Chains A and B, each alone.
Chain A
Amino acid sequence: MNSNIERNNGFVQALAHLTLMLGLCLPFSACAYTGVTIVLSAQTQANQEFIDAFKAELANNKNNNLKVKVIVLQVLEKLVVAENSELVIALGVKALEASAKLKYTTPVLGVFTPMPSFNSLLVKTKRDLGNFSAIVLDQPFWRQFFLARNILPEAKKIGVLLGPTSSQFADAIKEEGEESGFSVMEENVFSEPDLIPKLKEALDTSDALMAVPDPMIYNRETAQPILLTSYRHQKPIFGYSQSYVRAGALAAVYSSSKQLAKQAAEIALETQQAPSLLPPPQAPKYFSILVNYQVARSLNITLKSDEEIYQKVLEADNAEAKEHEEFRH
């Protein structure tokens, strides 16, 4: 079921290079940092995996002597950090929220943060991007569409439910979907009672549903009705998390704690000498896919091995990343 293959991603790599180049060209605006403080708000398994993997990544790279400190943020506790010599990596929205209150020149990198949450924090705190960035949890839409395209080569229409949080991505989703050959059938859900009727409309008009995170639409409570309804319509759902796939979605692109840690370590190493030049907020660079073969079988969808699907998605992803890179140049 689980394909845990890690690969490099050209797009993000290109971005990193770009950032590094920019960093080298600019005068040193701040001192190199000597340590990394990882701030977390709860000791979850994901956080622990991140910390372990992050430390391991740094240990693998002999050209650094970055010290890693971990702070578990208690409620109402005041966050204390050596602000001028540390890179702060905040795990989760709460930790990032607290870290955002640090001195403006302290580089803060958010991890395990959804893009909309990062964006609203950025706006609210008025921090500048050089010192405030993130590896967001959101996978690029194109990557998700590549996955859908690979699993359902003949599908034409893909349904998307958009709520108050996700509606901002409507245009991007439409555009990326079309690039993969999908007409995106968008349904806007404005209130909770609307959810199931809108879902049914989306399922009636599409070959599959792509879940875009929105707390009003996809949450613990709605998982059962959404998954049951889509199953009754015999339409697959592409999720955005491992647990949604385990709960009954057909497949998802996701990044593990280890993969995010690897990306974070790369950023830490690359920006060590230029602390105020964090790369812009970026999507996860390394990713995995998870496929629910039981669901596929029940929906009479013939699947290749997850390894094969992953390779195909990765190829398309690399090509896409290259395009984005060229665009940036």
Chain B
Amino acid sequence: MLKIKLIILCFGATVAMLPNVVNADDAYPIALADNLSEEDYLGEVPRVLTVSRLSQSLADAPSAVTVIDRETIRASGIVDLPEIFRLVPGMYVATNAGFVYNTNHVVSYHGITSAYSGSMQVMINGRSVYSPLFGGVNWSELPIAIADIERIEITRGPNAASYGANSFFGTIKIITQSPAEHAGASVIATHGNGRNETFARYAGKLNDLSYRVTAGYREDDGLDKRNDFKRTRLLNAQADYQLNTNNSLELEFGLANGARGEGNINEDAILFLPRTKQIDNYYGLIRWRHNISDTSDFSLQAYHSYDRSDDETTSIDLRPGVRTAAFNAEFRRQRNLGRPVPVATAIANAAANAVSASLPSGFIRINNEVVQERTDIEAQHTFALGGNIRAVWGGSVRQDTMYAPHYLASKKTDKFDLQRLFGHVEWRPFEKLTLNTGAMLEHNDFTGTDVSPRASINFKPTPNHTFRLGISSALRTPNYLEEKFQDRLTLPLTQPNPLSATALIVQFRANKGNVDPERIISRELGYMGKIGDLQLDVRAFSDRIDDVIRFRPRTDFTSPANTVLLNGAVGVDINSGTNVGSAAVEGIEWQANWQLTDKTKLLLNHAYVQIRETQDGLKKNYVNSMPSNTVSALVTYKFDQNWDGSLAYYQVGKVTALGDGDPVDLARRTDVRLARQFNSGRFKGEVSAVVENLFNQHYEEFADYNTLKRRGRVNLRLDF
């Protein structure tokens, strides 16, 4: 070091002595203390918050939006993603709903809740994960780790103008962290009652490529007295490649697979018995973002997803049942012919024995494999005109394919095509007024062409207070269950047999098809305000739903040639999805976000929802499919720099879910969480403990087969 200084000194002296014209020579390097150069001021920086990345401010948005950020997710202490939606006003969440095809959380907004509630669009980074089979989302099978989620935006109210059919009651947009946002490695482990999971993630950067890989294993033992365990391996990788200042590529890949316990002996002791099935899902996505100018953006994305449920099940021995059915049918026939009871009994016995002897086996194997694939390509152009108009328009094509031999009674893969064109304009004629209008034109194979428009006015008398008046419409395309299911139980017979038939059939659903989409028109009045440290969001709504799709028995079903239909004998209806009536959903809901002190924050939600039948045709439980009152609250408190705690409270009124649901009473649940962050030089991270249902209320959720009890967990996160 001294030597260098000496050289510099000598050289400096030499230079000073040289006359007039001098050679400034690189031999003496001036190493600048810092690398700050004019490039830092004048150089180009990749465009990050381009018009398409900038979402509307909540005060300008055409609908009520609840944003759940990473911090709220952390404070809530949840371990299953759908649990977080308990903190959204008007949402109903229930665990382990259903027992056929999947046993998953149900998340519904404003009711019409069934095990597969299909009235909301759910998207992860712009990829729709809504399943066309039963509708709804198989939450536990999504290849996503909670740790990777940055925020969730929930649009309360129809949002079809932006996201198309099935954005019926609302939209859930899950956004993961950008790979560039959180570099480093983390290990996360959770251990608790009926729950173990481990995740490892690594995010790094290679020049203009930032990437993140998350891998994990989840063991969920489910609820008491249910065969609903889940073992899931999952992997998710995401990469951003900044091609240059104005172009970037985003890539995603994910997979989830594992074993699932399924079947419910109390509800169905005949066909879908408790068993273990395998799921195998993966997806890939690529998106090109092109920044055309300061006020214009283009993006093109394509994704493909594959979801397989490998399920084969064997019924109990159906011979005794068939024998009884045959006996009853023949006995009734003989009595109708005027035969006395002993004679009728003897004849019916002989017939029943003959039929039962014609069954080669009473144990029927059902191949209930389901493979769903989705390919979707979407282009979108966002632009601003002057300072006051912002617009987005675009189009997409999608193909869903469905292989479900049992449900569709066919080994053929069914295809469902969908094309969309959409446009949306936000116009601010005055500082205090924002108008939003948009529409989506959609064509699909089930219901043809439809348009879903929307319009709203936001009035901001002051920057802190916004009133919103909106009207929007949306459609819900019937799912496969409602449009195409032809599921039946087929019992082959030996030849010859006294019925001269090839098989006995119990038909469950025989959809006639051509069901019209459900239609919703939603009117709402919203208020958003900031009063000191209190942020308030109130929404009063009046929705009208027409062409409600329900199952109705059909009597005109004829079984295939040379088969005998057993439905009458066993008392099973043959159902077909039918548009039956109208309903109104009305109510008011609010959300308060209150920073009580520097250390205390309160999130409070309440919804009052009433469903009314406005036209004959809906069964009573339709109107009971949403609790009248739901309340949720989350208080977080920061003790000091390291310690923080939270308390969550959820109260759900009595409700009767549709489908596989039962009437359940009002339920109260309190969760507590205590966390300590640490940073001991090499190791940084957090230890936390959560107790769910602190007061151990044994309440039922969704159906009487789900009893919830107290559960505890500890969680450790280490960052390197």
For the complex, is A62 an interface residue (Cβ under 8 Å from B)?
no
B54 in complex: contacting residue of A1, A92, A165, A295, CB < 8 Å: A295
A292 neighbours in B (Cβ, 8 Å): 49, 294
Complex CA distance for A220 and B295, rounded to whole angstroms: 21
B483 to chain A, nearest CB (A): 40
Complex CA distance for A98 and B22, rounded to whole angstroms: 12
Can you list, as one digit per residue, whether each of A197-224 has a CB less than 8 Å from chain B (1) or not (0)? Answer: 0000000000000000111001111011
Task: Report if A101-B41 is in contact (Cβ < 8 Å); known contacts: A116-B36, A223-B46.
Answer: no
In A253-299, the 8 Å CB interface with B consists of: 254, 292-295, 297-299
Q: Flag if B24 contacts A246 (CB, 8 Å).
A: no
Q: Flag if B384 contacts A78 (CB, 8 Å).
A: no
Q: Flag if A137 contacts B38 (CB, 8 Å).
A: yes
For the complex, is B51 an interface residue (Cβ under 8 Å from A)?
yes
Q: Flag if A92 contacts B48 (CB, 8 Å).
A: no
For the complex, is B337 an interface residue (Cβ under 8 Å from A)?
no
Q: Which of A80, A81, A97, A98 has most B Cβ within 10 Å?
A: A97
Q: Flag if A116 contacts B21 (CB, 8 Å).
A: no
In B1-59, the 8 Å CB interface with A consists of: 8, 12, 15-16, 18, 20-26, 28, 30, 32-38, 40-51, 53-59
For the complex, is B307 an interface residue (Cβ under 8 Å from A)?
no
B36 in complex: contacting residue of A76, A117, A299, CB < 8 Å: A117
Q: Which residue of A lies closest to B184 (CB)?
A: A193
B60 neighbours in A (Cβ, 8 Å): 297, 300
B461 neighbours in A (Cβ, 8 Å): none
Q: Flag if B180 contacts A224 (CB, 8 Å).
A: yes
B21 neighbours in A (Cβ, 8 Å): 80-83
A76 neighbours in B (Cβ, 8 Å): 26
A103 to chain B, nearest CB (A): 6
Size bracket, chain A contacts = 35 or more
A220 in complex: contacting residue of B18, B41, B45, B51, CB < 8 Å: B45
Q: Which residue of A lies closest to B426 (CB)?
A: A297
- Chain B interface residue count, CB cutoff 8 Å, equals 62
For the complex, is A113 an interface residue (Cβ under 8 Å from B)?
yes
| Binding stretch for chain B, among A28-36, A120-128, A174-182 | A120-128
Q: Flag if B40 contacts A102 (CB, 8 Å).
A: no
B48 in complex: contacting residue of A113, A224, A302, CB < 8 Å: A224
A-B contacts, CB under 8 A, total: 189
Complex CA distance for A182 and B688, rounded to whole angstroms: 36
A228 neighbours in B (Cβ, 8 Å): 48-49, 178, 180-181
Q: Which residue of A lies closest to B240 (CB)?
A: A224
A300 in complex: contacting residue of B28, B48, B58, B205, CB < 8 Å: B58
Q: Flag if B24 contacts A92 (CB, 8 Å).
A: no
For the complex, is B443 an interface residue (Cβ under 8 Å from A)?
no
Q: Flag if B34 contacts A117 (CB, 8 Å).
A: yes
Complex CA distance for A222 and B26, rounded to whole angstroms: 32
For the complex, is B644 an interface residue (Cβ under 8 Å from A)?
no
For the complex, is B512 an interface residue (Cβ under 8 Å from A)?
no
Q: Flag if A218 contacts B40 (CB, 8 Å).
A: yes
Q: Flag if B46 contacts A247 (CB, 8 Å).
A: yes
Q: Flag if A125 contacts B24 (CB, 8 Å).
A: no
A101 in complex: contacting residue of B24, B49, B181, B242, CB < 8 Å: B24
Complex CA distance for A249 and B45, rounded to whole angstroms: 11
Q: Flag if B37 contacts A104 (CB, 8 Å).
A: no
Q: Flag if A244 contacts B45 (CB, 8 Å).
A: yes
A225 to chain B, nearest CB (A): 5
B295 neighbours in A (Cβ, 8 Å): 1, 294
A275 to chain B, nearest CB (A): 15
Q: Flag if B57 contacts A300 (CB, 8 Å).
A: yes
A44 neighbours in B (Cβ, 8 Å): 42
Complex CA distance for A316 and B501, rounded to whole angstroms: 97
A23 neighbours in B (Cβ, 8 Å): none
Q: Flag if B36 contacts A114 (CB, 8 Å).
A: yes
A232 in complex: contacting residue of B12, B45, B69, CB < 8 Å: B69
For the complex, is A84 an interface residue (Cβ under 8 Å from B)?
yes
B147 to chain A, nearest CB (A): 15
Q: Flag if B40 contacts A114 (CB, 8 Å).
A: yes
Can you list, as one digit per residue, whether each of A115-149 has a CB less than 8 Å from chain B (1) or not (0)? Answer: 01100110011100000000001000000000000
For the complex, is A22 an interface residue (Cβ under 8 Å from B)?
no
For the complex, is A79 an interface residue (Cβ under 8 Å from B)?
yes
B183 neighbours in A (Cβ, 8 Å): 193, 196
Q: Flag if B32 contacts A246 (CB, 8 Å).
A: no
Complex CA distance for A223 and B183, rounded to whole angstroms: 14
Q: Flag if A101 contacts B178 (CB, 8 Å).
A: no
Q: Flag if B16 contacts A103 (CB, 8 Å).
A: yes
Q: Flag if B182 contacts A196 (CB, 8 Å).
A: yes
A225 in complex: contacting residue of B28, B178, B431, CB < 8 Å: B178
A-B contact pairs, 29 of them (CB 8 A): A46-B38, A46-B42, A93-B36, A98-B24, A103-B16, A113-B38, A114-B37, A114-B41, A121-B30, A121-B32, A137-B38, A137-B41, A137-B42, A215-B35, A215-B40, A220-B43, A220-B44, A227-B48, A228-B49, A229-B181, A241-B42, A254-B41, A292-B294, A293-B387, A294-B294, A295-B49, A297-B60, A298-B57, A300-B60
In order of increasing CB-CB distance, the 7 nearest A-B pairs are A248-B49, A101-B24, A300-B57, A298-B54, A112-B38, A227-B48, A247-B45
| Extra pairs beyond A116-B34, A117-B37, A224-B178 (4, CB < 8 Å) | A165-B36, A223-B46, A231-B54, A292-B49
B contacts, CB < 8 Å to A: 8, 12, 15-16, 18, 20-26, 28, 30, 32-38, 40-51, 53-60, 69, 150-151, 178, 180-184, 205, 210, 240, 242, 294-295, 384, 387, 390, 428, 431, 463
